[in-house]
Amino acid sequence: MSHWLSAAILRRASSLTLGGTSPSVCPGRKNEKYRSKKSELSEPAAVMAPTLAGVPPLGDEAVRRRNRPAIVSMAQPTGGYAMSESRTLVDAEALRAEVSKKYREVALEPGAEFHFHTGRPLAARLGYDPAIVDPMPDAAVESFAGVANPFELRDLQPGERVVDMGSGAGFDCFVAAGAVGETGVVVGIDMTEEMLVKSRANAEEMGLSNVEFREGLLEDVPVEDGWADVVISNGVFNLCSDKKAAFEEVWRVLRSGGVLQFADIANGRPVPEDALRDIDLWTA
Ligand SMILES: C[S@@+](CC[C@H](N)C(=O)[O-])C[C@H]1O[C@@H](n2cnc3c(N)ncnc32)[C@H](O)[C@@H]1O
């Protein structure tokens, strides 16, 4: 099997240098004010390639088996293109526009047909606790479009500060908000306006004062250096052309000893160059 969907957990070392290149710079970066020092991370070695067409539909049992949690090393070699190369092969702006278009639909028409699973049935298949999910209003769950359960490997602790990279309509942020409690804070980052409108409305309806949603890119996160105890993400790194920049941002916003626990799609085989250039395959 070449693709996997799983959850992984990584702890941020106090000083981490994984390669020799200089940090990525997101063109048109807006969030300079959040950076107080240079990122120490230069190059995570693991490669996450775009999703490819042909992934079979996920039946309940297949989902449970395929999406079981795994612990992976940041330095685990996977073959394929290095992150710094793959980001040059696709037009990042055009890709973001297509991704936003897709997730605008997921926000506005959650009952429509998508090539991925969504909503309460997906949350149940991925093993989210019904005691947490069932009481949530429909609007908080219906646009959920994650690929696994980033909370399976480690329980969030009361008081933790959490950043959700690609927060969509806020489902994982709401799960996190319950776990960290009133002394904790959850900040969701997303680039799609309709998702931000929906997540903010959901938080208000649920009366959650410890959750905030900020407009931003994974490659240019509007959060201060070292602010977060935990970064979570669910199904979003695979949608970024510049994974190196996105992981640099994870490491920048995490405090020393902080944890990245995320779920995503990766490819165990090298991706052909023409596939890396094909935006339809990234969003398919
Ligand atoms: C697969 S959905 C996941 C949403 C949420 N994590 C969930 O599980 O429902 C992808 C979300 O990530 C956002 N997204 C994708 N690429 C992004 C990027 N480069 N920067 C910020 N947000 C991004 C999209 O707008 C969309 O809301």
pLDDT at position 274, please? 81
Contacts of 97-102 with C-beta under 8 Å, sequence gap 24+, read 98/279, 98/282, 98/283, 99/192, 99/239, 99/282, 99/283, 100/191, 100/192, 102/283
Which residues of the chain, if any, have pLDDT below 50? 1, 15-22, 39-82, 84
pLDDT at position 25, please? 65
Instruction: Provide the angle, in degrees to the nearest 10, between the axes of the packed helices 193-205 and 171-180.
Output: 40
Q: Which residue, by CA, sits nearest to atom 27 of ligand 1?
A: 168
Per-residue pLDDT reduced to its tens digit, 206-225: 999 999 999 999 999 999 99
> Measured in angstroms, how far is the CA atom of residue 158 from the centroid of ligand 1?
25
Ligand 1 binding site (Cβ under 6 Å of any ligand atom): 96, 99-100, 103, 144-146, 166-168, 171-172, 190-192, 195, 217-219, 234-236, 239-240
pLDDT at position 66, please? 44
Q: Kindly list the structural domains of the chain, giving each domain's residue range(s) and its CATH number in brackets, ordered by start.
A: 2-17+39-79+87-283 (3.40.50.150)
- Its pTM surpasses 0.85: no
Start-to-end CA distance of the chain, whole Å, equals 18
Per-residue pLDDT reduced to its tens digit, 76-114: 233 344 454 555 678 889 999 999 999 999 999 999 999
